Amino acid sequence: MSGFDVSTAMVDLARERLGEQTDLRVADLGEPLPYDDNAFDVVVCSLALHYLQDWSAALTELRRVLRPGGRLVASVPHPFVYLFNYQDQDYFSLTQYSEEFEFADESAVLTYWHRPLHAMTDAFTEAGFSIAAVSEPPWSPDTPNELLPANAGERTAFVCFLFFTLQAP
């Protein structure tokens, strides 16, 4: 892995937890999924929830398309990252914030919603999921420095994302 590619990390984690034979598909959470109820055993969700102020509709839709006993593997920014970068802010409040990034020499402003860990777990359980596992993987040790957060310094690891494995009843 050349850098911390969340999509690749999600697939690797899902395959590790769910088995190499698992059929993994990608879906856009911006629209209702075009599938019947109970269509999937596993859904992998990467880099979408933290752009949403309210997770209810997305999680309800993901729960709708899972078979009983099906699993959702979701990644979200670790709430500690917000606390690390915005030390003067209230960790416990739902807060919108924006950051500027450079992608192929183009500047882009991305807007996120920080939520504390308990708000994440509450949203999952309110949508009908049980939490089967939580993982906090560090970035790959061979990640080039230019791909790491500017304030990462000489760290060899930093918690960037939380990976949840959620189960439908």
Whether 82 is in a domain gets the answer no
- Answer yes or no: is 55 within a domain: yes
Residue 125 is assigned to a structural domain of this protein? yes
Domain count, the chain: 1
pLDDT of residue 47: 57
Whether pTM > 0.85 for this model: the answer is no
Owning domain of residue 155? 6-76+119-167
Q: What are phi and psi of 71, to 5 degrees?
A: -125, 145
Looking at residue 121, its pLDDT comes to: 97
Determine, yes or no, domain membership for 15. Answer: yes
Could you tell me if 65 and 2 are in contact, meaning their C-beta atoms sit under 8 angstroms apart? no
Per-residue model confidence (pLDDT) at position 102:
80
7-34 burial string, b = 16+ CB within 10 Å, else e? eebbbebbeebbeeeeeeeebebeeebe
Does the CA dihedral 19-35-9-93 come out positive or negative?
A: negative
Going from the C-alpha of 72 to that of each of 54, 68, 69, 141, 169, the distances in angstroms are 18, 12, 10, 27, 12
pLDDT by position in tens, the chain (length 169) = 223 344 555 566 666 666 666 665 555 454 555 566 656 666 666 557 888 999 999 899 888 888 888 888 888 888 988 888 899 999 999 999 998 888 778 888 988 899 999 999 999 999 999 999 998 877 777 777 777 666 666 666 666 788 899 999 8
Whether residue 90 is contained in a domain is answered as: no
pLDDT at 161: 82
Report yes or no on 113 lying in a domain.
no
Give the 3-state secondary structure percentages of the chain, helix then strand then coil, rounded to 5.
Answer: 30, 30, 45
**Residue 85 belongs to some domain of the structure:** no
Instruction: Report the CATH number that the domain containing residue 148 is assigned in CATH.
Output: 3.40.50.150
Is 104 inside any structural domain?
no
- Cα-flanking dihedrals φ and ψ of residue 16, to 5°? -65, -45
